[in-house]
Amino acid sequence: MTHSRYFFNSGVIRQNVRQHGWIGIIYTLGLLFSLPLQLFMSGNSGTQPQKVDNLFRVAGDIQVLFIVVLPVAAGLFVFRYLQSKMASDLWHSLPLRREHLLTAHMASGLGLLLLPVWLTAAVTAIVTPLGGNMYIYSGADIWNWCLIVSVLTLFLFVFSTFVGICTGQTVLQGIIIYILLILPAALFQLVNLHLSTYLYGYPQWSGSSDSLYIWSPLLRLITYTNDIFSVAELCIYAALSVVFIALSFVLYRNRHGEKTGQAIAFAYFNPLFKAGVMLCAMLLSGTYFTSVKPHQLGWMIFGYITGAILGYIASEMIIRKTWQILTRKVPMEFAVYGILLGLLLYIPVSGLTGYENRVPAGEHVTGVYAGSKYQMYNDDSYPRIYSFSASVDSSGVDQDPPLAKPDFYTTDKQYIEAVRSLHHALVTMRPTNQDSVRHDSPGARMFTLAYQLDNGRKLVRQYWIPGEGFEPEMKSVMESKGFKQNEYTLYQLDEDIESIRLGSNYTNKAVSISDPQEVKEFTGLLKQEILNMSYEDQTGDQKSIATMQMNSKPKHIGYGFYYDFDWKPSFHELENWLVQKGYADKVRSTAQDVISAELIQDDYAGKLPEETRFDAEQHVKLARSENRAVIVKGATEINDILSRQRNFTGKNGDYMVKLVYKGGFIDYASLHEEDLTPGLKALIP
């Protein structure tokens, strides 16, 4: 019994409640305001109550504010005595062992924080059946909310306590807490930027997806209203809380009282602190100078050295609490840290790892993906966030769509070998968009190559592929069924389509197809046209004729989805079907839709500044000033332009057309020499 009293000393707990009880009061009022009260304040009076899938949907931003701030504040104030010499000596002079004192402080802090959470959950349950409640939710929703907030509150308070034991200044403690809560995601992002800069083939988007938030507890808390915490995440936070509690007991027992006021309470943390600050500064400075002065080795090295110097100086000043840090050992210590951290950054991007030349053997590949939509398919929340139309119920809450996530890896051995052949060519030639390849190069594109290996692992690479020099390899890949199924999301055409809307890209002309038999014929033809596309059809620069919107039938939630496809000039069978049915002329732009067409021979790319090279209107103005712009008036010639027009490139040797459509839409198009009909050639001066 005495042992129990020591561990939960009532005197210590009462003192904390008297001194810091305001934290519990604010947390209680804040949670009551952000949940039970909002149940009656949110929404429009007179409307039907709205069903929510979780209680974080109710004033979630306000809840986040209190959950993020109050547990950390409790850790700062309850253990404030550790950062003050007089208060520390007073508390530690009590006839209590340190573990007993720590237990009592932790218990009082958790009591001030968890009781408001449980009280808020109880009040929410009580007001559920009351009139005026604008939301519909279940008892399970209340339980889930209570469990999640309790675990997060526990984690933040325990983490704040742990940091407070390791530091000797309250202000620094608060700063370090929030830095460390963000640091995993920030460091992960910086490392990915570093690797993508120096490793050929490293995916540039590896550190920029939404899943990056799971590496940062703070960012995860801020964004958790969009995606509820999973059981696994809660278990991780609970386990981390136990770990930090255990570490707190170990460190608190060995913490010297004279460390109050010091930046770091334990000297053996100083090297880790210096190395961490220097590493982050080097990555940040190196990434900045590399982005500003790309492919200039001198500036790159300067960036990393500058970051190392600034990081070392900052860490030394924080530890010593003075700007006078120069001693005899500083140059040698800086050199040691700099060399070790330099090697840490260099080795992963050097040729020692074999990363850049690694192409998996065909016998170890069980599936392969090649294309530009890997991020979309690989996202765990797909297809919810990548459907072109959100499914929303009357409450304004996104619902899970009925679409199943497609298996985007292709197992066809011939296709696997085609992708491997392309991969071998890329790692041999190493084309980059910084060299001779430009973003406006016809057919150039960013490709992701992903392999599923027989050991369960994945190998993913991303390359910028130019439009010239890789035609045989690209042709083998892009003309394969496996590529087209994924790149053009053909599985969408297998959905239960209710109607199809064809709309012109340049006018208000549109037509809807809703007859079930016609919809079936249309989707079948469209799918076959896409599967029949050649490499030239896919990489050509001809403009699409119209946009085709597939509207799925409403599902169990009452809403469907829509998907967009382009009507390409190469879809001859589909065009013939549309002509037979009388739909083509209702959508396709004709000379009657054009107010004016202005034709120029475009050789102004070299005469315009680089920043206006792709400004089509500048080309037109320059041609007018030289009297080289021709107005096309004949309906036949305008129709010839509309049927042959290509995307504007601004290249010398092409012809450019400015088209003004009825309704005010202005478009700029290019024509190649072979696109000119005799009638158009006759107009050119």
383: confidence class by pLDDT, cuts 50, 70, 90: very low
- Residue 385 has a pLDDT of 35
What percentage of residues in the chain have a pLDDT greater than 70? 87
pLDDT exceeds cutoff 50 at 63? yes
Residue at 394 is within a domain: no
Q: Are 16 and 161 contacting, i.e. CB atoms less than 8 angstroms apart? A: no
Q: How far apart are the first and last CA of the chain?
A: 106
Residues 153, 156, 157: CA angle, nearest 5 degrees: 80
Q: Which amino acid is at 39?
A: L
**Within this chain, do residues 477 and 605 fall inside the same structural domain, yes or no?**
no
Q: What is the DSSP string of 130-174?
A: STT--EE--HHHHHHHHHHHHHHHHHHHHHHHHHHHHBS-HHHHH
629 with 569, same domain: the answer is no
> What does the mean pLDDT of the chain come to?
83
> Where are the strands (E) in 483-593, listed by range?
497-504, 510-513, 546-552, 562-567
Asked if the structure places residue 401 within a domain, the reply is no
Q: Look at residue 616 and tell me if it is in a domain.
A: yes
662 and 596 within one domain: yes
Q: Give residue-wise pLDDT tens across range 305-351.
A: 999 999 989 888 888 777 777 777 888 888 999 999 999 999 998 88
- Same domain, residue pair 87 and 236: yes
Q: For 636-659, what is the mean pLDDT? A: 86
The SS3 of residue 323 is coil
Mean pLDDT of 575-586: 92
d(CA 584, CA 587): 6
The larger pLDDT score, comparing residue 496 to residue 389, is at 496
pLDDT band at 43 (very low <50, low <70, confident <90, very high): low
d(CA 524, CA 94): 83
Angle at CA 259, nearest 5°, toward 255 and 264? 90
If asked whether residues 1 and 146 sit together in one domain, one would say: yes
Asked whether residue 308 is assigned to any structural domain, the reply reads no
| pLDDT the model gives residue 283 | 92
Q: What would the mean pLDDT of 376-390 be, rounded to a whole number?
A: 50
Token pair, residue 430, equals: 């190493």
Q: Is there a contact between 597 and 635 (Cβ–Cβ < 8 Å)?
A: no
The number of distinct structural domains making up the chain is 4
Residue entry with tokens 């969009």: 226
Rounded to an integer, the average pLDDT of 72-91 is 84
Which range has the worst mean pLDDT, 36-45, 407-416, 628-637?
Answer: 36-45
Judgement on whether residues 465 and 502 belong to the same structural domain of the protein:
no
Tens digits of residue pLDDT in 284-299: 998 888 888 777 888 8
Ranges 45-49, 228-232, 466-470: which has the least confidence: 45-49
| pLDDT per position as a tens digit, 341-370 | 999 999 998 888 889 999 999 899 999 999
In a shared domain, residues 631 and 500: no
Instruction: Give the C-alpha separation, 12 to 224, whole Å.
Output: 36
Domain boundary among 240, 260, 280: 260
471 and 537 in a single domain? The answer is no
On whether both 574 and 651 belong to a single domain, the answer is: no
**pLDDT of res. 389:** 34
Query: Which of 559, 587, 615 delimits the end of a domain?
Result: 587
Per-state percent for the chain, helix, strand, coil, to nearest 5: 55, 15, 30
| pLDDT-derived band at 398, boundaries 50, 70, 90 | very low
The first and second tokens of residue 341, run together, are 């951290």
Q: What's residue 406's pLDDT?
A: 62
Q: pLDDT, tens digit, for every residue of 96-142?
A: 788 888 888 899 999 999 999 999 999 999 988 887 778 888 888 89
**Res 210 pLDDT > 80:** no
Q: Which residue has the tokens 């069978």?
A: 573
The 3-class secondary structure across 248-259, one letter per residue, is HHHHHHHCCHHH
Instruction: Give residue 678's pLDDT.
Output: 87
* Residue owning tokens 């012809």: 655
Of 131-145, 189-203, 220-234, 516-530, the poorest mean pLDDT is in 220-234
DSSP 184-231: HHHHHHHHHHHHHHHSTT--TTTTTSGGGGGG-HHHHHHHTTTSPPPH
For the segment 390-412, the average pLDDT, to the nearest whole number, is: 53
Kindly state whether residues 82 and 17 are assigned to the same domain: yes
Query: What pLDDT is attached to residue 554?
Result: 67
Predicted local confidence at residue 25, as pLDDT: 93
Q: How far apart are CA 574 and CA 324, in angstroms?
A: 78
State the burial class of residue 248 (Cβ atoms within 10 Å of its Cβ: 0-12, 13-18, 19+): buried
Say if 520 falls within a structural domain: yes
Least confident of 92-96, 341-345, 420-424: 92-96
Six-digit token string for 254: 């060995």
pLDDT category at 224 given cuts 50, 70, 90 is low
pLDDT at 57: 80
Omega within 30 of 0 (cis) for the link into 383: yes
pLDDT digits (tens, 9 = 90+) for 240-250: 999 999 999 99
Say yes or no to pLDDT of 14 above 90: no
* pLDDT attached to residue 425: 94
Model-level pTM? 0.79
Say if residue 33's pLDDT is above 80.
Answer: yes
Q: Answer whether residue 476 is part of any domain.
A: yes
Specify whether 28 is located in the same domain as 171.
Answer: yes
Distance CA 561, CA 499 (A): 11
With respect to residue 335, please indicate whether it lies within any of the assigned structural domains.
no
Indicate the residue among 487, 503, 536 that finishes a domain: 487
669, β-bridge pairs: 647, 657
Average pLDDT, integer, range 158-167: 91
Average the pLDDT over each of 178-192, 398-412, 482-496 and give the range with the smallest value.
398-412
Enumerate residues 6+ apart whose C-beta is below 8 A from 12: 94, 96, 101, 104, 105, 108
Listed in sequence order, the residues at least 6 apart from 228 whose beta carbon sits closer than 8 Å to its beta carbon are 53, 54, 56, 144, 148
- At 390 the pLDDT is 33
Q: Is the pLDDT of residue 401 over 60?
A: no
156 and 70 housed in the same domain: yes
Average pLDDT over residues 263-271: 81
φ, ψ of residue 237 to 5 degrees: the values are -65, -40
Checking DSSP bridges between strand 646-647 and strand 629-632, what pairing results, if any?
unpaired
Contact 9, 104 (CB under 8 A): yes
Residue appearing with tokens 């009260």: 37
pLDDT at position 331, please? 86
Domain of residue 78, residue span: 1-176+229-260
Residue 187 and residue 224 in contact, taking contact as beta carbons nearer than 8 Å: no
What was the pLDDT predicted at 574? 94
Beta-carbon contacts of 673 under 8 Å, excluding residues fewer than 6 positions away, are: 653, 655
Q: Is residue 239 part of a domain?
A: yes
Number of neighbours of residue 673 by Cβ within 10 angstroms: 10
